[in-house]
Structure 1
Amino acid sequence: MTLNLQKSDLVYWISGLAVLVFVAWRAWYMAPYQDEISTFFFYVQPGAINPYSAHLDANNHVVNSLLSFWSYRVFDSPEFFFVRLPNVLAFCLLLFYLHRLGSLFESSIKSLWFRLAVICCIYTISFFSLSRGYGLSYAFLAGAMFHLLAMGNRHQTLHLLAGLANISLAAWSNLSQLLLLLVLAGLFLIRSLSDRKRTLPHILFWTVLAGIPLSLAIDYSLLLDEKGLLYLGESSGLFSRCVAPLLNQILPGSVFRFTFFALLLLSTAHIGYQGFHTRKLTHSGLLSLLFWSGLFGMVLSHWLMGTNYPVGRALFHLYLVALFQIFFWIDTISLRLFPIVGAVFVLPFVIQLLTGLNDDFVPMWRETTMSREFVAVIDEGKPEDRLPLVMTSPIMDFSYNHFNFIDQKNYNVAQGAQHSEAADFLILNEWSAPPNPDRYQQLLVSPTTNTALYKRREELQWILHETQSFDSTIVFAEKFHALKPVRTGGHQDTSFRVDVACDIDMQTSDAEIFLVLELRSSSEERLVYLPYELRRIQALSAMHEFEKSFFIEEHSGNGTNIHVYFWSPSGDSAVIRKLRVDFYKSESIKESTRDSAELFESSTRRSRQQRLSNSSVTLSSATG
C-alpha cells in the first residue's frame, strides 16, 4: 500500500487546515473557563509577566501569560478569542513540526497516518482553543523532538539552537513537562558533543538556551512546591488513577486502548532487541529512550521527593512521546500489515473528532462551561424592575460572570452553589440535582453537556427591610471598609436580597478589591460567606456605575446579622461615591408576569442570529 509523497502532504495540509478552522471557531465561541479567567485577571490584564513578582500560582503558565498579554494589548478587545489567539497560532506551529517529523519517515502512507493520529485527536487539539500553556508546550515539544531526530543530518548547530529554544519554551509553558524536558535536554547535549570541532560553542549554546532557563524553571517549581501549590495529582496508583483515566479520555474503546499498550510494549521490546544487536540508536530508539526515561524520572521524583503523580493534561506529554515512538517504529517494519494497522489506529480518532464537533466545551472540562444562549435568555427574561438573581453549579459562575466583561453589559452576578430556592434562574450541570419541577421550569438544555437552564415559575416578592446610603465620598486604602450590620430577625427558611449601587473609581486597573457579604450568628459565627472581586463581575470601563444584586438564603434560623464590606487583601485603594445598599426580605410569592412560551420563542430567535450554528443547544419548551 503506497501513496505518492505529494498526495500524502496534500491530504495532511487539507486536514490540518480543516482542524485549524475548528480550533479557531471553538476558541471564538466557547465560553471561558475558570482557569483561563484567573489567568486573565492575575497575569494578562495587569501585564504581570515576571513569575516571581506576580501572583504565585501553578496556574501561571508563563509563556502563555506573556503571549496572551501581548495579543490582548495589540487587539484591545474584551473578546476572549484574542486572549486565546496565541494557542490557536501554536496549532500552526504544531502542523509545521508534524510535517517536518513526517518527512523523516521512509513510508509516505505511514507518515500520513502518524500526522493524522495527532491532529485528529480531539483531546490534543482541545488545548489549542484555550488560553492555557498546554497547547503551546505540545507544539514546542514536537519541535524539540524533530530537531533532536534531525541532528544526525546536516545543520547540526542550527538544530541544536532551535531544539534547545523549544525545550525552554515548553518548560515555561507547562512545568509538568519539566522532567521529560530535562531528559530531552540531556540527549541534545550528548548528541551535540559528537562534533568535536564545535564542542565548546555547543556547550555554551546549551548552557544559555537550556541550562539557565531549565534551572530557573526548577527553582520556580520548588518555590511552588514550598508554598503547597503543586497539589494537582495523585499520591499513589500511577496506572489506575493517572494513566488509565487519561487514556479513557483520549482513546475511544477498550480494544483501542489495548492495541495502544500492545504496540507500545511490542515496539519497546523490538527497539531494545535491535539496539542491542546493532549498537545503533534509531529515531524510534531515541523516542523510546526519551519516553521510558521520562516515566522513570517521574516515578523516581515521587519516591525521593514525595511529588504527586501527574494526572490528565499534566501527563499528556508522555502519551504524545509514546505515540511518536509507536509510529516511528512502525515505519521501520516492512510487513504489509502495518500500514493497515496505522489506518485502523487513526480511524477512531477521525470518527471521534467528527462526532464530537461542538463549540460548547472541551472534553476534560465538559461540566464546567455554559453556552452563550443561556446568558442571552436570562437577559431577555429578567424581571422588569430589577436585576436577575442567578445561581449556577459550582465553578460555572466564573464563566457567567465573565460575560459582564466580554459583552460590556450588566448581567448581574451568578452565585455558585448546589441548591437555591431564591434565584430567578438556575444553570445546573450533571453535578447538581435538578430543582423542584413545581417551582422551576426548564428553558434550555445543551445535548452536548446536559447543562440546563431553569426559570422560577413564580417570582419571590421582596419587601424592603433596610437601606443604608452614603452620599459623601469614601476613600479607602485599608484592608476593610465595612457597613453597619443589618439584623435579620433569625427566621428559618428566609431569603434576603442585597442590592448594591455606587460609583467606584479603581485607582489601578489590576486593583484587587472585593465586595463581601456574610451572614453571621449572634456569636459571630460565619454561616454564609460570599466574596466577589469587583473586576471579575463587572467591566472596568463601566465600574463607575457599579450595580449588582445578591441573595442570601437562611434555612437554620441561626443567622442574625448580614455584614457587607469592601476588602482589599493587598491594600489597594478605591474611591466610592453615592453608595446605596438595599436589604430585602422575601415574604410571599406572586405569579410571574412573563409568559414562558413567549420567552422561549424570543430567546430562540435571538440565539439563531448570534451563533454560526444552533446545533449545539436544544431548546425545550417548559411544561406545566
Structure 2
Amino acid sequence: MNQTNTSSKIATWAFFLALLIYAILRAWFVEPIHDEVATYFHYIETGEIKGGRSLMDANNHLLNSWLGNFSYRLFGEHFFLFRFPSILCFCLYFWSSRKLTSNLNLGLWGELCFVALNTIPWIFDYFSYTRGYGLGIGFFMAGLFQLSMWLKEKHTGHLILVLFFFYLAVLSNLTYLITSLMVIGYIAFMTLLHAKKIGVKALVFHGFLLLVFCFSILPLIEFSFALKEAGALYYGSLDGLWWVTGKTLSKYILFYDANWLRIAYCLIGLIGAIILFIQWKKESWVQFLSSTSFWVSMLIGGNILAILILAKIMKVNYPEDRAAMYLVPLSILALTTLFAQSKISKYFLVVLVLFPVSFLVKLNLNTSIFSPDDRMSEEFYTTAMKDLKPNQTVSIYPIMQLTYSLFERTNPNHVEKHIGTVQKDFLPSSDLILTKTTYLFSKDDISMYDVVAEDPASTYIALRRKKPFQQVQLFDSIGKTRESDDEYISFYGGPIRPEWRNKQIQINLKGHLKTDKELNDFNMVVATNDSTEQNLRYDYQNIRWYVGENVQQFKLNYPYAARNFKNEESQLIIYIWNPERKHFKLTNPSIEIIELK
C-alpha cells in the first residue's frame, strides 16, 4: 500500500512539474495576445484601474490589472512578469483539483477526472496569460476544494478559505459572481441544517463571516452594473444559450460544435439527473445535500438558470466561450461523480481521455486555442517592417493595432516610431498592408503588391508595394511653435479641396513634441465632417502606445494613408487630442498632402 502511495505521489509530482514547466515556457515564449496588450496599455501601464478616468471595459479584470501595475512599477514592462500570477494560480488549481478528486474516492475514475481537469488545452492556455481567467479559475478550484472540506469537517478555517478564494475569484473575473452568491446561499442553508451540531457560537460566527463576504462583494456587484450601464458587457449576444454559450464552449473544448451536440448534452444531463435522483433515494437528506455530486450539479443548474434569467429579463448577453469557462470543470466533476456511481455508466467516463490526448496534440510555444489570429509574432513584424522608410505608410487591420504599436515601441532601430493607420478593408494607397488572409477577397487587386511576410498560425499577411508611389505635392503648411495645455491642438481645419478628391492621398504630419508629465491619452486624430458638421470619418492613434508613458519628448512623424474622400465629406480636421490637458510644447508642426500615382 505504501509503495502504491509513493508511486502515486511521484507520478503526481512528475505530472505537476511537466505542466508547470510547460506553463512557464508558454509565458516566456508565446507573444502577447491582443487582449493582454489592451490590458497593459489601458490599465497596467496607466494605473487607472477603477474610478477616475479608467476605461470602462470588460477587459479590465481588476485583480490582474492591480497585480500587473504593481509589477510594472517595480520591474517595468515585461509580459512574463505580468503573467507570473497566472502561473502561480495554475499551481493552486492543480493541487486543489488533486485534493478534491482524491477525496472523491473513485479510484481510476477519480484519477482520470483529475488528469482531465488539468489537460484542457483551452483553459490551460490562460495560465500563461496576463488575464483574469487563469487567476479566476485557479481561485475557483481552490474554493471548490475548501467547500468540500468544510462540508466534510465543518471547520471554520475551511469556511474562511472558501470565502477568501471565492472573493479572489470574483475580483479576478466577474463571471464568478453568480457562482459565489450561490455558494454563499448553499453554505447558509447547510449551516442552518447543522445548527445543533455546530453550536450557537459557531453558528453566529459563520453568519458573521457570510455577512462580511456579502458586504465586501457589494462594490464588485456595483462595478458589474456600472460596466453594463457603460455598454462594456458587449461580449456574447442574446442569440440563445446554445448558439452563444454551448456552441462556443464545444468549439474550444471538443474542437467540434455541430448542432446535434446539444441533444447529446441534454441526454447526458437527463441521465445524470436520473442518477442523482437514485442517489437521493438511497441516502439521507443530509448525506445527499452534502455530496459533491449534488452541490456540483446544483452549481451547474443554478448558473444556467441565472444565465437564462439575466438574458431574458435584464438583457445581459449569454456568456460566450471564456465568459462561461467555469462550466467546464464543473461539468467534468459532475460527470465523474454521477456516472461513476453506476456499474454501466461509469464506462462512459472513458471519454475524459479526450482531454489529455487533445492536450498532447495541441502542445506548442507559439499560438493558442482561442483567437490565434489576435497575436502578432516578432518574426512577422520584423520581416514585414524590414527596410520600410519613415515616410512610407502602414495600414493595419484593427485587431493588430495594439500588438503592432507595442513592437514599434520596443524597436530600438525606430527612433521615430512608425505610426500606422487602422484600416479594416484593403487600402491600395498604403505602402505596407498588414492584414489577414481571411480578409483578402477576390475583388481586392493585390497585383501591385508582394507578400513579404506571412504567419499561418495567426493568418497574418504583410503586403508591400512592388514599386514605390510617385508623389505629387498638393498642399504644404508649416505652423508656428506653440506651448499650452489645451485639449485640442489643431494641425489643419478646413475644406477638402476639389483637387484632393478622386485620388489616392497620403497626409504627412510632423513635429516635435515635448511634455513635462507622463503621457496617458495623447491622440493623433484625422477626421472629416459633412456640410452639417456630422462626423463621417474618425481615425485616431494614441501616441503613448508607440512611445510609452515615460518619454517626455519625441519626434512625431505620421504618414497617414487616407481613404479616398467621399463626395459627402466636406471638411478635413486634423488635431492632437489632449483630454488630460497635459502641458506640452509643439515645435515646427507641419502638414503635407500628396497625391500618389
Question: What TM-score, normalized by structure 2, do the two folds share?
Answer: 0.88
Partner letter of residue 576 of structure 2?
F
Change (3 A) 1:391 1:563: same
Q: Secondary structure at the match of 2:180?
A: helix
Q: Establish whether residue 472 from structure 1 lines up as the match of residue 476 from structure 2.
A: no
Q: Is the 8 A contact 2:112 2:353 kept in 1?
A: no
3-state SS in 2 of match to 1:436:
coil
Structure 1 position 455 matched with structure 2 position 464:
yes
8 Å Cα contact 2:503-2:596 kept in structure 1: no
User: Which whole-Å CA distance do the structure 2 matches of 1:326 and 1:191 have between them?
Assistant: 23
Counterpart-to-counterpart distance in 1, 2:302 and 2:271: 17
Cross-structure match for 1:316? 325
2:564 aligned residue? 554
CA distance in 2, matches of 1:496, 1:24: 45
Partners of 2:70 and 2:469 in 1: CA distance: 46
Q: How does 1:216-255 map onto structure 2 within 5 Å?
A: 216-253=219-256
The equivalent of 1:113 in structure 2 is 112
Residue by residue over 1:407-439, the C-alpha shift from the partner in whole angstroms, topping out at 9 and shown as x without a partner, is 466351232221111222222224411553411
- In the alignment, what sits opposite 1:347? 353
Specify the alignment match of 2:509 in structure 1. Answer: 499
- Structure 2 residue runs of 5 or longer lacking an equivalent are none
CA contact under 8 A between 2:49 and 2:60: conserved in structure 1?
Answer: no
Query: Aligned partners of 2:341 and 2:534: how far apart in 1?
Result: 69
Written as runs of structure 1 = structure 2, the 5 A alignment for 1:99-110 is 99-110=98-109
2:370 maps to 1:373? no
User: Out of 401, 424, 435, which is 1:428 matched to?
Assistant: 435
Aligned to 1:535: 544
> In angstroms, what is the RMSD of aligned CA positions?
2.8
Deviation at 1:306, TM superposition (A): 3.1
Is the Cα–Cα contact under 8 Å of residues 391 and 414 in structure 1 kept in the other structure?
Answer: yes
1:583 aligns with 2:592: yes
More displaced, 498-507 or 154-163? Answer: 498-507
How is 1:193-204 mapped onto 2 (pairs within 5 angstroms)?
A: 193=192, 194=194, 195-197=198-200, 198-204=202-208
SS at match of 1:423: coil
Partner Cα separation in structure 1 for residue 539 and residue 375 of structure 2: 21
Q: How does 1:20-39 map to 2 (within 5 A)?
A: 20-39=20-39
**SS class of match (2:225):** helix
Kept in 1: contact 2:38–2:402 (CA 8 A): no
| Residue 275 of structure 2, aligned match among 261, 270, 274 | 270
Judge conservation of contact 2:449–2:465 (CA < 8 Å) in 1.
Answer: yes
**Amino acid corresponding to residue 311 of structure 2 in structure 1:** H
Residue 15 of structure 1 and its aligned partner are, at CA, apart by 3.1
Does the CA-based 8 Å contact 1:39-1:60 persist in structure 2?
A: yes
Match of 1:364 among 344, 352, 370: 370
User: Quick check: 1:62–1:173 contact (8 Å CA) kept in 2?
Assistant: yes
Structure 1 counterpart of 2:80, one-letter code: F
Q: Distance in 2 between matches of 1:52 and 1:156?
A: 42
TM-score (norm 1): 0.85
* CA pair 504-455 structure 1, distance change in 2 beyond 3 A: same
Q: Distance in 2 between matches of 1:46 and 1:25?
A: 28
Mark the CA change 1:267 to 1:587 in structure 2 (over 3 Å): closer, same or farther. Answer: closer
Aligned partners of 2:587 and 2:511: how far apart in 1?
8
Q: Could you list the per-position Cα deviations for residues 193-242 of structure 1 after superposition, in whole angstroms to 9, with x for gaps in the alignment? A: 4212411111112222x211222222222222233332323224212332
Give 3-state SS (helix, strand or coil) of 2:376's partner.
coil
Contact 2:275 2:339 in 1 (8 A): no
Question: Structure 1: any 5+ residue segments left out of the alignment?
Answer: 589-624
Identity %: 21
Change (3 A) 1:6 1:333: farther
Could you say what secondary structure the match of 1:426 adopts?
strand
Task: Name the counterpart of 1:597.
Answer: none
Contact 2:33 2:376 in 1 (8 A): no
Counterpart contact for 1:440–1:455, Cα < 8 Å: yes
**Matching residue of 1:16:** 16
Query: 1:485 aligns to what?
Result: 493
Amino acid across the alignment from 1:25:
L
Corresponding letter in the other structure for 1:10? I
Conservation of the 8 A alpha-carbon contact between 2:97 and 2:141: yes
Please tell me the residue identity of whatever aligns with 1:443: V
Q: 1:402 aligns with which of 400, 406, 417?
A: 406
Deviates more, 1:116-125 or 1:187-196: 187-196
CA deviation after TM superposition for structure 1 residue 334, in Å:
5.3
**Deviation of 1:389 (Å):** 2.1
Measure the CA separation in 1 of the matches of 2:123 and 2:266: 19
Relative distance call for 1:36 and 1:310 in structure 2 (3 A) is same
Secondary structure of the 1:458 match is: coil
Q: How many angstroms apart in 1 are the aligned matches of 2:151 and 2:14?
A: 30
User: CA 1:154–1:274 in structure 2 vs 1: closer, same or farther (change >3 Å)?
Assistant: closer
Task: Provide the C-alpha distance between the structure 1 equivalents of 2:514 and 2:136, rounded to a whole number of angstroms.
Answer: 40
SS of the residue corresponding to residue 39 of structure 1 reads helix
Q: Sort the Cα spacing of 1:266 and 1:406 in 2 relative to 1 into closer, same or farther, 3 A.
A: farther
- Taking the aligned partners of 1:468 and 1:202, their CA distance within structure 2 comes to 73
Pairing 1:34-113 to 2, within 5 Å after superposition? 34-51=34-51, 54-76=54-76, 78-113=77-112
2: distance between equivalents of 1:535 and 1:394? 17
